[in-house]
Amino acid sequence: MTALPTVSSRTRLGLEIVAAGVAGGVVGDALLRAMPWGLNVAIGTVGLVTAAVWLIRRHRVTPGPDAAWLAITALLLGLPVSRASVSWAGA
């Protein structure tokens, strides 16, 4: 009998990044095909930031000093799109 090959933590991180990217691409494609984009952009952005935070915490990667600002900026840029497409928002 042969033993199963072990996967290094770096390879596991890479595979999980690829899996998160594929899943995000499928979800993003489904969300952005629907018109108007509205809340779908905000949902996609929250999903992207959540996946990044999950990967960072799961693998105990030390993020750079600007990582939090990048996540906040992405979230804040996704919200106005949902606000602009809502008819009852008083535009």
Q: Is it the case that residue 79 has pLDDT exceeding 70?
A: yes
Query: At 90, is the pLDDT very low, low, confident or very high (cuts 50, 70, 90)?
Result: low
In this prediction the pTM is: 0.74
pLDDT confidence of residue 31: 84
As a whole-number percent, the residues of the chain with pLDDT over 70 amount to 88
Q: How confident is the model at residue 38 (pLDDT cuts 50, 70, 90)?
A: confident
Q: How many CB atoms lie within 10 A of CB 72?
A: 11
Q: Let me know: does 79 contact 42? Beta carbons within 8 Å.
A: yes
